[in-house]
Structure 1
Amino acid sequence: MADIELREFKPSDREGCLAVLDANTPEYFSPVERETFDEFLAEPPGTYLVLVDDNRVVGCGGYIPMPDTRDAHTSWGMVHPDYKGRGLGKRLFQARLDAVRKRGDADRVRVVTSPQTESFFKLYGFEVTRREKDGNAPGIDLVEMWLAL
């Protein structure tokens, strides 16, 4: 396996990102979330990054600085199941956190996730602030978490 590149999203990455979402459905995402993600990819707000292996998108995720606040929200983070267990999720998430810190305009970072990935974010010091049954989509509970920078 060649080195996996981490870079900013380009419009030509759209189908690759959708393929990563599809590969993570239904374990981590609901089929009803695909349309929302596709619309997001049309013009991603904030910064959106991709992990690329030999011209194949194998992961993606970003963050959005929130106007009129000192908050940043993470957006649509995922790694293709074929690439899990290689530290790519950590690499991608750490790059996002580092970028938020470097900007210097956020005091907190928000993650909206599901119970399946809650423990991953706890490793970074995120704390659960809210839970909502079926809050992400039918059958996928919402877990809101915050990290003070």
Structure 2
Amino acid sequence: MLIIKYTPVFRADCIEIFKSNLPKFFAPDELQLFETFLDHDAEDNYYVIQEDGHVYGCGGIFLDEKTDEAGLSWGMVHAWHHLKGIGKLFTQYRIDLLKKLYPAKIYKIDTSQHTAAFYEKNGFHTVDIIPDGFGKGIDKYIMKMENRLM
């Protein structure tokens, strides 16, 4: 598996990955938000994971200067490739990148009830739950990871 920086050449692949995760992991209304993100905010800290020319996942990191937190953003693996270890590998890559770039920050992710346990296994803990926070039937779990270097 190769992890490389996102460029617009991967836009269609990322949108297909997003759509493969509807409606369980993302609300349909989020597609437009994701497309806007790809068009305006993805090139600095967004990545794809690929092998043999096929894109299996995409995801990024962010720094929120207002809250002084960094975190994981828009991470996903194509539904056909869930439970194969790709998400674990890609999430660890992004956590390692956060630790390298933002070593003194608290890390955050907003995710759903469907993936909260996955992120707990990766060191995050739930600090708040907003029922239907992403859409009907998709609760928003706000999770944080205390950086051990702090």
Could you tell me the TM-score, scaled by structure 2's length? 0.91
* Structure 2 unmatched ranges of 5 or more: none
Aligned 1:57-136 pairs, distance under 5 A: 57-136=55-134
Instruction: Tell me by how many angstroms 1:58 deviates.
Output: 1.2
SS at the partner of 1:57?
strand
Kindly provide the amino acid, as one letter, of the partner of residue 19 in structure 1: E
Shift of 1:122: 0.6
* 1:55 matched to 2:57: no
Which string of whole-angstrom CA distances, capped at 9 and with x for unpartnered residues, describes residues 89-148 of structure 1?
Answer: 011111111011111354211010001101001112211111011101222110000000
Candidates 134, 137, 140, aligned match of 1:139: 137
Secondary structure, counterpart of 2:130 in structure 1: strand
- Does 1:9 pair with 2:1? no
Q: Which amino acid aligns with 1:144?
A: I
Percent identity (aligned): 32
Q: Flag structure 1 segments of 5+ consecutive residues without an equivalent.
A: none
Q: Count residues in correspondence.
A: 146
Give distance in 1, aligned partners of 2:102 and 2:22: 35
Separation in 1, partners of 2:51, 2:36:
24
Look up the match of 1:38: 35
For normalisation by structure 1, the TM-score amounts to: 0.91
Contact kept in structure 1, 2:71 and 2:98, CA below 8 Å: no
Q: Kindly state the Cα deviation for residue 65 of structure 1 after the two structures are TM-superposed.
A: 1.2
Q: Deviations over 1:18-49 (max 9, x none)?
A: 00000000111111110000000002255111
